[in-house]
Amino acid sequence: MPIKIQSDLPACKILEQENIFVMTDNRAMMQDIRPLKIAIVNLMPTKEVTETQLLRLLGNTPLQIEISLVRMENHDSKNTDKTYLDKFYIPSTEIFKHKFDGMIITGAPVEQMPFENVDYWKELCSIMDYAKENVFSTLFLCWGSFAGLYHYYGVPKYSLDKKMSGIFMNERTVDGEPLLRGFDDTFPIPQSRHTTLKKEDILKCKDLSILAESAEAGVTLIKSKDNRQIFMTGHLEYDTLTLAQEYYRDIDKGMKVPLPKNYFPTNNVNRMPTSYWRATAHLFYSNWLNYYVYQETPFNFV
C-alpha cells in the first residue's frame, strides 16, 4: 500500500530504506482514486518511533492511504519538540472538520492513573465521541483500548500486581472472523501494561464480542458488533527490540519490573531477542484495512 505522508517526515526515509512504498503529495495526485483517510491519534511519548511502527504496517497492502497525525492540544509533550509537532501533526480540533475512513488511537504511559486524572481526558473523549459518528472504523491499542472501552461501555480497568510484559500466545474465540482471517490457531501478541480487563465485565456488554484471549494475558482482542470499534490490549506494532528498550529504561529508573516473558532467548538479557509476531502484525493490519475499512466504507463517506 502506498502511504501518502510528508516527504520530510523522519519515518519516510526509514520506510523507503525498508522498501515500504511511500508516496509524496505530487505523485498521489496523479492517481485517479480516492485514498483511504486514516487519522493516527498518537499518545505515545516517543512519537517518531510509534509513527514509523504504525506506518510500516499500514504500508503493506495495495491500497493508497492518506495519513493525518493528530496531537492533543491540551497536553505539553515532554519527549517531542513542539516544532516537530507543529510541522507534522494537526491539532485535535482540526479533525472535527473532516471525516475519516479509519482512525488509530494508540496507547499512552498513563494507565496507572484514573482516566479522569489524565490531563487530556476530556479532549480524548471528544475525539472518541466524534469518531463514533464520523470515522468508519476505529482501532484502539493498549491504553487506548482501555480508554475506549471505559468511555463507550463503562468497562473498568484493574491494576496488576506487577507489570505484564512479554510475548503471549492467543487463541481465537470465534469462527469466521475477518480480522483473524489467515491467522494460525495460536498467535503471539506483545503486551506491555500495568492494568487488565475482566472477561465478565465485557460479557455484560451486549454490543461487544470477544475475538481472542490468552491463558496468561486474558482478553486481548474485542470488537463492537457493528465492526466500527476494534480494541486490542497489546502492541502488535512493536519492533523487535521495543520490549527490551522498555525493560532497560525501567531498570535504569530503579523500577522493579519483571523480565519480559517469552522474549529474551533462555531469559538471558544479554542475548538478542527475535521477532516472531511480525507476520501476525502485518496480517492483522491488512485485514483491518481491507475488511473493516476499505470494503465497508462508502465511497462518499468523506
Active-site residues, by number, are 142, 235, 237
| CB proximity list for 274: less than 8 A, separation 6 or greater | 240, 265
Alpha-carbon distance 131 to 95, whole Å?
10
Angle at 48 between CA 47 and CA 52, to 5 degrees: 115
Q: How far is CA 25 from CA 20, 37, 88, 98, 247, in A?
A: 16, 14, 14, 19, 39
Consecutive H or E run containing 232:
strand 229-232
How far does CA 90 lie from the centroid of its chain? 18
Please list the residues that pair with 86 across neighbouring strands: none
How far does CA 82 lie from the centroid of its chain? 23
The answer to whether the beta carbons of residues 245 and 252 sit under 8 Å apart is no
Angle between helices 121-134 and 143-153 (to 10 degrees): 70
Go through 245-266 and write b for each residue having 16 or more CB atoms within 10 A of its CB, e for each that does not.
Answer: ebbeeeeeeeeebeebbebbee
3-state helix, strand, coil in the chain (%, to 5): 35, 25, 40
Alpha-carbon distance 86 to 71, whole Å?
9
The three grid cell numbers given for residue 7, joined into one nine-digit string: 516527504
The answer to whether the beta carbons of residues 163 and 194 sit under 8 Å apart is yes
Alpha-carbon distance 36 to 293, whole Å?
8
